[in-house]
């Protein structure tokens, strides 16, 4: 040992210590400073007035250095030289040199603020600049003025020693030369595509080829790299070399193998733990990958990262210094010299790379003041300080003023990570302390289990848990203790190896548990007597790990706190929706380990002081009769609960009062039963009815105005029914009407003129009075005025009476009709409102509306205005009375704006309702002459408690006439017209016979021609009936005398008129026959189109349905078909197809109408006009020279189609 450089300068160092409070000893690796300086201090008389404290950054180094110095001084460890690390104290009463971790010395400050137990302090490996080292350096700077007797030796490698000197006011620096033997540096970078393990194999092979005498130390960044390299090296050198790992998490007995070399040459694969004062014996060569995992705190993600980074030049020199201690050394760097030159000179101090929560906690506990004023060698980043404070706030260790809480004071006395300490403190509250002591002890050490080694364990030894690795630790704890009782020492070790368990870590786990249990007793934490349940354990765990929860995204990916996204470590058994992770570290990506499934409700409970609560718009909850809001709870950006209904009253009383007065009181959703309620409901109902009748929204009850009425009277704290009722009971004793509104309290338009007579509650139709309902809802089917008519009375109602609407809307209806007239007419009627008012003032509501209005407008404008023009004007729904037919239970059976449409919708129900409306007087069949009384317009009949009206009329039965009652006057009139025509035909048998003879005598081919029209007899009958109906015009006899006059008037003219019509019909039939005979030679699709056209021109009933108005055009229509056939014969088929395509859309429209309404669709004048105007359009296309009877175009056809009305 006397050959070591530091030993050679022992007297100089001892003299410097005697003269100066602080010296900086800078010695290269291998100079012997770690083992020799404590012995120099002993020989100089230090350690007599107190201990010589010697700190090391790592427990492994503290333990091994103590053993080494004890060997060199010839004493047993723990006597002259001892060591103390976390939860392990090997110092005896006679101990003078105490090796310890720097963290142990910091802990002692709580009990011994001036460190009176020490007369000398050696701070070793200061160049590592761990946070504990920087903390000690800062504290010692403040302590030294109070302890002039204290001597401090700062020991560092040759790394920026002047920084330490400057920190201690230019303390002297003693530099000691380093290696005893020279070290050759070789740069041997690998190929870009090569694997680092392959590069290591090549470097080892090169050293073996150089006849290297000694062991090889290889520096790698992490445990996985060590395992990969070990696998590769064993594959190549298994017989030649002993491959040994060395890293901090390695079990103690495995570490001991490194310090006890055997005969076989070794390759030690180490992390940067071997850069420190640990001296691995017999090292002759170093292989340096130039990489290390550097612990860095991420300000953005708020987690510790462990990225693999190129090491600094200082670390590279440290590594090279591990060889050459006992012989010449060789260092092979697996990177280029340029790469070395470009690297940072020094590694960043740890205080610039970590979360500062524990430092801040310790400073607060020791009352060392503001961290920004503390004399750290390098002041920490203010962002990291804020993050540390934020974590302590998360753990409830400090209050809003950054002062320690009661929990924080306890936390500072627990020798564990602040997160784990918080878990212990809260476990005491949740009844899970016994379990959490086991879990936090396990989390405080390297994982005692290697889960990769045992994929399919014996069920009796399977301690894993499907949902929680924290619970798994409890099960492993119980299992290990059972096996301890069952097995002897060697059997227990074998059992551990078989199950992938590190025996020494399990023992360490027990030691830490014992120490934590003791500390928990000292802090008077409550131990649970009953086993804790899953929920209790994880509530406690969550209290310390709130920023390490995650919500499942997909696969093994999770969304974490503050936008972090992480994955579960490989091998995780499940991916539950929510997890908490005891560890989240970032290598090339963030990974979570030591996981447990949790519920979002547990997270919310543990994080009540951290969660953000956002509320949707408050609303009135009808079932609860309270003001509620949707609450969204989030923690660090993770949504724990979304839109959860919560009582909002206590959260925001002011906003709750606004909702209560608006929704509960103004809208009446609060189910209170005070007298004020009935009064106010009546006011609101009357205003709503006025609004519907006058069609004004400003008359509706104004909820905001009503709410203001209540707020003006209620106290500010009246946000719930219970408070309201208490107040109301007192207030109404003083003023019973304090909550009773007037019209102006509910609406600003209360003074608007309103005449109830213009908006009656009921409508009288005949002898019956029917209820009216008003609604102002433009988009609704029942917008406007609805008259409710019982089914039994539907037959008594006439559309002509309904057209008068109600007085209050009649003027507006007339205005809309006038504005819909042609411009030429409209110009003569201005101002329109005045014209409308004059008509309404003079009109007779007992007479039909549209004929009266047409007559008035014709007279007023001087232009002819027809009923059809007025009926073609599109009225808004609310200006057309809506009919609702109801049954005996007031249920609506059918409703609409057209009486005929409503009746058709009811169909059989109307007929069934009318079926009993019959008696012998008005129900006769087989009538062949007028031998019955005159037909009154209506007769009254009692039915179902109602007096209903029915209209007598006649029905044409072909060879006779039926007398019956009709539902409406219009139906009776239409049917009676044909019935009278039939009676006239029966009254004039001689004339009718002559007409039939005409068909048979004048054309021998008539039976053949008439077969498509129903036969000769039907044709003759249709001709007779058509002539009689034309002669009748609109007049319909209602008594015998008028009938006889009409029959006598027709006696002389019937035969000549019928013969003229018969000739036209004969021409049509002959033209149809001739046209049909030419179709066989016509190609498709023209043939099919023309055949369809012929079928719709000539068919049974075509004479009566077409009428004389259109029947006279039939020959021209058929002539146009002939012209079309001529053109096709001339080779103009392509043009024909184009013309057919032009007409086809309009023809298809008619076919659809016919399918919907049957052939009787032609009885509707608007439909009949459209039908034959399509024929005129064919003439204009296929035979223009024949000319049309009226102007026709596609636009005109569209207009005619839109005007069709079957109502």
pLDDT score at 253: 66
Backbone angles phi, psi at 500, to 5 degrees: 70, 30
pTM of the model: 0.60
pLDDT score at 251: 62
Contact (Cβ atoms closer than 8 angstroms) between residue 241 and residue 266: yes
1092 vs 1088: CA distance, rounded Å: 6
Residue 817 CB-density burial (10 A; 0-12 exposed, 13-18 middle, 19+ buried):
buried
232, 174, 190: which is closest to 11 by C-alpha? 174
Identical topology for domains 5-176 and 183-352: yes
647 vs 669: CA distance, rounded Å: 16
12 vs 40: CA distance, rounded Å: 10
Which residue ranges in the chain fall short of pLDDT 50? 1, 916
* Rg for the chain, CA atoms, rounded: 55
CATH topology of domain 5-176: Rossmann fold (3.40.50)
Element (H, E) at 297: strand 296-297
Measured torsion, CA atoms of residues 416, 417, 423, 428, in degrees rounded to the nearest 10:
30
Domain boundaries, the chain: 5-176, 183-352, 545-650, 653-746, 756-902, 916-977, 1078-1207
Instruction: Give Cβ neighbours of residue 313 (< 8 Å, ≥ 6 apart).
Output: 340, 343, 344, 345, 346
Cβ of 271: how many Cβ atoms within 10 Å? 21
Q: Give the sign of the dihedral formed by CA 194, CA 198, CA 200, CA 206.
A: negative
450, 476, 365: which is closest to 108 by C-alpha? 365
Backbone angles phi, psi at 647, to 5 degrees: -65, 120
pLDDT score at 328: 85
In 144-180, which ranges are continuous DSSP H helix?
Answer: 161-167
Residue 372 CB-density burial (10 A; 0-12 exposed, 13-18 middle, 19+ buried):
exposed
Cβ of 669: how many Cβ atoms within 10 Å? 16
Contact (Cβ atoms closer than 8 angstroms) between residue 797 and residue 891: no
Q: What's the DSSP call for residue 260?
A: S
535 vs 413: CA distance, rounded Å: 27
Contact (Cβ atoms closer than 8 angstroms) between residue 835 and residue 818: yes
1133 vs 1081: CA distance, rounded Å: 12
Q: What share of the chain is helix, strand, coil (3-state, %, to 5)?
A: 50, 15, 35
Distance of CA 437 to the CA centre of its chain: 41
774 vs 690: CA distance, rounded Å: 9
**SS3 labels along 55-112:** EECCHHHHHHHHHHHHHHHCCCCCCCEEEEECCEEECCCCCCEEEEEHHHHHHHCCCC
775 vs 785: CA distance, rounded Å: 7
Distance of CA 1051 to the CA centre of its chain: 85
Q: Within a 13 Å sphere around the CA of 842, how many CA atoms are in the beta-carbon half?
A: 11
String of DSSP letters for 14-71? HHHHHH-SEEEEEE-TTS-HHHHHHHHHHHTTTTSSSEEEEEESSHHHHHHHHHHHHH
pLDDT tens for each residue of 3-38: 688 888 999 999 999 999 999 999 876 688 999 999
496 vs 499: CA distance, rounded Å: 5
- Name beta bridge partners: 641: 633
44, 51, 39, 50: which is closest to 19 by C-alpha? 44
Q: Is the peptide bond before 161 cis (omega within 30 degrees of 0)?
A: no
945 vs 553: CA distance, rounded Å: 71
pLDDT score at 1: 45
Question: Both tokens of residue 708?
Answer: 């203001």
1154 vs 1131: CA distance, rounded Å: 34
H helix count then E strand count, the chain: 46, 36
Instruction: Give Cβ neighbours of residue 264 (< 8 Å, ≥ 6 apart).
Output: 241, 242
Q: Does domain 183-352 match CATH 1.10.3300.10?
A: no
* CA distances from residue 550 to 563, 589, 613, 663, 905 in whole angstroms, order as listed: 10, 15, 19, 40, 62
pLDDT score at 1009: 86
> What is the DSSP pairing of strand 329-333 with strand 283-288?
parallel
pLDDT tens for each residue of 1102-1145: 998 888 889 999 999 999 999 999 999 998 999 999 999 999 99
């Amino acid at each position: 040992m006397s050959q070591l450089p530091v030993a050679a300068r022992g007297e100089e160092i001892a003299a410097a210590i005697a003269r100066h409070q602080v010296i900086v000893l800078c010695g290269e690796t291998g100079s012997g400073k770690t083992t020799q300086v404590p012995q120099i201090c002993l020989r100089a008389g230090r350690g007599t007035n107190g201990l010589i404290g010697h700190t090391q950054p790592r427990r492994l180094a503290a333990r091994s250095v103590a053993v080494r110095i004890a060997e060199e001084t010839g004493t047993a460890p723990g006597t002259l030289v001892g060591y103390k690390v976390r939860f392990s104290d090997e110092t005896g009463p006679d101990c003078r040199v105490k090796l310890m971790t720097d963290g142990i010395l910091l802990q002692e400050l709580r009990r011994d603020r001036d460190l009176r137990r020490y007369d000398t302090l050696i701070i070793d490996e200061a160049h590592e600049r761990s946070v504990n080292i920087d903390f000690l350096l800062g504290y010692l700077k403040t302590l030294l003025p109070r302890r002039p007797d204290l001597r401090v030796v700062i020991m560092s490698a040759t790394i920026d020693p002047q920084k330490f000197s400057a920190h201690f006011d230019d303390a002297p620096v003693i530099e000691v030369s380093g290696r005893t033997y020279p070290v050759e540096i070789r740069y041997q970078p690998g190929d870009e595509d090569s694997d680092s393990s392959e590069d290591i194999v090549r470097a080892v092979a090169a050293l073996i080829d150089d006849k290297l005498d000694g062991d090889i130390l290889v520096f790698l960044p992490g445990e996985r790299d060590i395992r990969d390299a070990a696998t590769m090296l064993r594959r190549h050198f298994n017989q030649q070399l002993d491959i040994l790992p060395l890293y901090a998490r390695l079990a103690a007995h495995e570490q001991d193998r490194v310090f006890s070399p055997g005969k076989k040459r070794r390759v030690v694969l180490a992390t940067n733990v071997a850069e420190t004062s640990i001296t691995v014996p017999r090292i002759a060569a170093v292989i340096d990958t130039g990489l290390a995992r550097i612990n860095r705190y991420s300000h953005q993600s708020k987690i510790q990262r462990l990225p693999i980074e190129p090491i600094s030049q200082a670390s590279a020199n440290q590594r090279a210094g591990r060889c050459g201690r006992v012989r010449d050394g060789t260092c092979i760097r697996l990177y280029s010299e340029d790469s070395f030159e470009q690297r940072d000179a020094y590694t960043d101090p740890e205080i610039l790379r970590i979360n500062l929560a524990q430092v801040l906690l310790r400073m607060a506990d020791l009352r060392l003041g503001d961290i920004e004023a503390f004399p750290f060698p390098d002041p920490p980043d203010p962002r990291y300080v804020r993050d540390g404070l934020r974590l302590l706030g998360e753990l409830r260790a400090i209050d809003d003023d950054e002062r320690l809480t009661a929990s924080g004071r306890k936390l500072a006395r627990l020798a564990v990570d602040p997160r784990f300490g918080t878990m212990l403190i809260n476990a005491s509250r949740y009844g899970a302390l016994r379990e959490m002591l086991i879990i936090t002890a396990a989390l405080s050490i390297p994982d005692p289990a290697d889960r990769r080694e045992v994929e399919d364990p014996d069920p009796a030894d399977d301690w894993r848990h499907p949902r929680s690795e924290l619970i798994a630790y409890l099960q492993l704890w119980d299992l290990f203790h059972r096996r301890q009782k069952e097995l002897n020492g060697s059997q227990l070790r074998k059992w551990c190896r078989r199950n992938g368990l590190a025996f020494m870590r399990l023992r360490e786990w027990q030691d830490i548990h014992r120490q934590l249990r003791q500390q928990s007793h000292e802090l008077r934490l409550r131990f649970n007597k009953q086993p804790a349940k899953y929920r209790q354990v994880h509530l406690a765990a969550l209290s310390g790990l709130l920023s390490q929860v995650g919500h499942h995204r997909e696969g093994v990916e999770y969304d974490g706190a503050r936008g972090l996204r992480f994955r579960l470590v490989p091998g995780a058994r499940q991916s539950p929706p929510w997890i908490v992770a005891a560890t989240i570290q970032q290598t090339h990506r963030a990974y979570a380990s030591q996981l447990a499934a949790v519920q979002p409700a547990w997270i919310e409970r543990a994080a009540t002081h951290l969660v953000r609560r956002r509320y949707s718009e408050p609303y009135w909850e009808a079932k609860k009769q309270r003001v509620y809001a949707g609450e969204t709870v989030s923690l660090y950006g993770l949504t724990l609960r979304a839109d959860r209904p919560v009582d909002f009253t206590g959260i925001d009383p002011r906003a709750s009062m606004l909702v209560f007065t608006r929704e509960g009181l103004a809208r009446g959703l609060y189910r209170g039963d005070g007298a004020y309620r009935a009064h106010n409901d009546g006011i609101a109902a009357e205003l709503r009815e006025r609004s519907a009748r006058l069609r004004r929204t400003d008359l509706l009850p104004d909820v905001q105005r009503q709410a203001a009425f209540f707020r003006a009277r209620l106290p500010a704290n009246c946000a719930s029914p219970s408070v309201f009722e208490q107040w109301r009971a007192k207030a109404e004793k003083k003023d019973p009407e304090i909550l009773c509104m007037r019209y102006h309290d509910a609406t600003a338009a209360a003074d608007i003129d309103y005449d109830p007579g213009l908006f009656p509650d009921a409508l009288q139709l005949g002898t019956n009075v029917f209820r009216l309902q008003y609604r102002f809802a433009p988009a609704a089917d029942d917008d406007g005025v609805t008259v409710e008519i019982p089914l039994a009375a539907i037959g008594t109602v006439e559309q002509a009476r309904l057209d008068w609407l109600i007085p209050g809307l009649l003027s507006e209806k007339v205005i809309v009709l006038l504005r819909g007239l042609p411009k030429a007419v409209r110009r003569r009627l201005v101002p329109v409102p005045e014209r409308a008012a004059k008509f309404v003032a003079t009109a007779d509501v007992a007479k039909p509306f549209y004929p009266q209005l047409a007559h008035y407008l014709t007279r007023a404008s001087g232009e002819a205005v027809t009923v059809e023009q007025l009926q073609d004007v599109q009225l808004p729904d609310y200006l057309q009375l809506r009919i609702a037919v109801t049954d005996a239970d007031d249920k609506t059976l059918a409703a609409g704006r057209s009486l005929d449409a409503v009746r058709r919708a009811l169909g059989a129900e109307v007929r069934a309702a009318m079926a009993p409306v019959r008696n012998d007087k008005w129900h006769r069949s087989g009538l062949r002459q007028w031998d019955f009384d005159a037909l009154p317009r209506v007769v009254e009949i009692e039915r179902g408690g109602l007096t209903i009206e029915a209209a007598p009329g006649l029905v044409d039965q072909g060879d006779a006439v039926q007398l019956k009652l009709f539902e409406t006057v219009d139906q009776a009139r239409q049917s009676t017209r044909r019935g009278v025509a039939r009676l006239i035909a029966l009254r004039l048998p001689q004339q009718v016979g002559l007409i039939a003879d005409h068909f048979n005598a004048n054309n021998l081919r008539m039976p053949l021609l008439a077969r498509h029209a129903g036969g000769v007899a039907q044709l003759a009958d249709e001709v007779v009936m058509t002539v009689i109906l034309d002669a009748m015009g609109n007049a319909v006899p209602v008594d015998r005398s008028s009938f006889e006059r009409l029959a006598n008037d027709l006696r002389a003219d019937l035969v000549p008129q019928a013969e003229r019509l018969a000739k036209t019909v004969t021409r049509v039939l002959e033209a149809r026959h001739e046209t049909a005979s030419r179709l066989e030679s016509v190609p498709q699709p023209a043939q099919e189109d023309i055949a369809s056209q012929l079928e719709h021109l000539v068919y049974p009933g075509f004479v009566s349905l077409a009428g004389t108005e259109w029947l006279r055009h039939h020959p021209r229509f058929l002539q146009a078909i002939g012209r079309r056939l001529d053109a096709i014969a001339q080779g103009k088929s392509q043009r024909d197809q184009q013309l057919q395509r032009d007409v086809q859309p309009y023809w298809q429209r008619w076919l659809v109408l016919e399918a919907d309404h049957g052939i009787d669709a032609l009885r509707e004048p608007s439909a009949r006009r459209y039908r034959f105007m399509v024929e005129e359009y064919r003439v204009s296309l296929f035979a223009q020279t024949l000319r049309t009877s009226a102007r026709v175009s596609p636009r005109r056809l569209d207009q005619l189609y839109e005007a069709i009305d079957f109502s």
